[in-house]
Structure 1
Amino acid sequence: MVTGIVFSPLGLVLVFTAAITPQWREGQARLNMTGPGSLLRSSVKGQGLPDSLLLLRSDGLWETCLQVEHSELKQCWPAAGPYQRDSRVRLAQGLILTSLFLCGTGIVLACVGVRCWTDLPLRGVAATGGLLVVTAGLLSLTALGVYTHNLGILGMSSQGTKFPQLSLHPAGSLYFGWLGSCSQVLGGSALLLSFKRPKCPTCPSCPELPACPACQSFPEISNKPDMNVYEVSC
């Protein structure tokens, strides 16, 4: 139960971090500044501009950013256009949101079931929370798998166009998502294992009994006057 309580919130935080950051994929595109039709070159003549600029593009589930390399010029905007309308991106968005909701609900149930402030936990409630956390982890893994498998063509196949010299590759948010999803599956599985009640230790003198109802019932123990006798119940 302790393992589940630790790893489940950790997975929730990591998946949430991956969901809100715009680094699911990154790409670079070089913008030519020397052509005759370059508006930027013609408007600022004599300023010592380089022949080309390297643009860094990053896409997330809900946000896209564009930055000029080695400068503070960066612009982010909500994802729109063919990328936002891509069915695979929308599927990943829905799976991630459902995963976050199920994981949060599972953690609440697990906290109620573990009941650290009492001696006896509610094992069924804790295991139900673990089942929800495992389901959340599987949903987020599915979303990450779909996005990663189609990473290079998301938002581009429908229009048949690509950015010039743009090379796309996985970015940091994907790794946060993979790590968080695995933590959810691990934590939820640990909570599921807590559904089974541990066996009570048997009395050495009567191994056929599940537990000693009263230690004073065994003469080899009760004959010792200097030993305190306690009744143990599991």
Structure 2
Amino acid sequence: MHTPASMVMGIVFAPLGLVLVFTAAITPQWREGQARLGMTGPGSLLRSGSVDTLLLLRSDGLWESCLQVEHSELKQCWPIAGPYQRDPRVRLAQGLVLTSLFLCGTGIVLACIGVRCWTDLPLRGVAATGGLLVVMAGLLSLTALGVYTHNLRRLGMVSPSQGTNNHKFPHLSLRPAGSLYFGWLGSCLQVLGGGALLFSFKQPRCLTLNELNESIKNEINNTGYI
């Protein structure tokens, strides 16, 4: 069977997008920041009056946060907790990403069944339905990424009106991290792959009986057989 190019594009891009979005979901680098922590000690002050500092690297994901000391193997990760975990925008992103992964996986299964490489004719309706699910999955993950990126520096931050300013930890300058870029790329691939599978709804034009007879006659005339 000659598989349409749109189907080939769909069954290649959709799984690749799924892998990238899944990688983004399980890694704790959605946002990251760094801060210098002053380490003062009586011994160092008596010797030179200097102040030692440590550069702390903090990263947060959808389900895990990590803290590492720069130029050191000291690193600790833990499940997200506190205001960040309870933030409704983080929970929204979690739900959208999980739904996106489920829809994309289901769509890929339907697309593989619809392509039916072991038979002569593909199930175009099934393949196109799988493409629709993949497109929906891509849009959901794009929404999750957009919500998270737009509120990145405010997620889990306690408002001053609550009167719980905590000076125990230094202020972190937060910025987007690598997992977000994996997510954006994977979501775009999902939309492209699902959109390509949607072209499966377009049925190929079949020749009518008269057109088929005329084609056979022309072929006979061209080959010289009577």
Name the TM-score, length of structure 1 as normaliser. 0.82
Work out which of the residue numbers 18, 22, 31 in structure 1 matches 2:24. Answer: 18
Q: 1:215·1:222 contact (CA, 8 Å) conserved in 2?
A: no
Work out which of the residue numbers 216, 220, 223 in structure 2 matches 1:222. Answer: 220
Q: Deviations over 1:44-102 (max 9, x none)?
A: x99xx971100000000000000000000000000111100100000000000000000
Tell whether 2:86 aligns with 1:85. yes
Return closer, same or farther for 1:59/1:215 CA change in 2, 3 Å cut-off: same
Instruction: Judge which range, 164-173 or 49-58, deviates more.
Output: 49-58
Structure showing greater relative contact order (alpha-carbon pairs closer than 8 Å, 6 or more residues apart): 2
Tell whether 2:218 aligns with 1:212. no
Return closer, same or farther for 1:97/1:224 CA change in 2, 3 Å cut-off: closer
Q: Deviations over 1:95-152 (max 9, x none)?
A: 0000000000000000000101111000000000000000000000000000000000
Paired position in structure 1 for 2:184: 178
Q: 2:114·2:125 contact (CA, 8 Å) conserved in 1?
A: yes
1:189 partner letter: G
Paired position in structure 2 for 1:2: 8
Paired position in structure 2 for 1:29: 35
SS in 2 for 1:108: helix
User: Which protein has the larger Cα radius of gyration, Structure 1 or Structure 2?
Assistant: 1
SS in 2 for 1:194: helix
Provide the identity percentage. 78
Q: 1:95·1:143 contact (CA, 8 Å) conserved in 2?
A: yes
* Superposition deviation, residue 153 in structure 1: 0.8
- Aligned positions of 1:69-148 closer than 5 A: 69-148=70-149
Where does structure 2 lack aligned partners over 5 or more consecutive residues? 1-6
Q: Could you tell me how far apart the structure 1 residues matched to 2:52 and 2:209 are? A: 83
Cα RMSD for the two superposed structures: 2.6
Paired position in structure 1 for 2:196: 190
Q: Could you tell me how far apart the structure 1 residues matched to 2:215 and 2:175 are? A: 71
Q: 1:123·1:194 contact (CA, 8 Å) conserved in 2?
A: yes
* Superposition deviation, residue 214 in structure 1: 3.3
SS in 1 for 2:175: strand
Q: Could you tell me how far apart the structure 1 residues matched to 2:21 and 2:200 are? A: 24
Paired position in structure 2 for 1:231: none
Give the number of the structure whose residues are more often helix, by fraction: 2
Q: 1:63·1:77 contact (CA, 8 Å) conserved in 2?
A: yes
Return closer, same or farther for 1:224/1:52 CA change in 2, 3 Å cut-off: closer
Q: Could you tell me how far apart the structure 2 residues matched to 1:133 and 1:211 are? A: 40
SS in 2 for 1:119: coil
Q: Could you tell me how far apart the structure 2 residues matched to 1:124 and 1:167 are? A: 50
Q: Could you tell me how far apart the structure 1 residues matched to 2:98 and 2:116 are? A: 28
Where does structure 1 lack aligned partners over 5 or more consecutive residues? 203-208, 229-234
Q: Count residues with an aligned counterpart.
A: 212
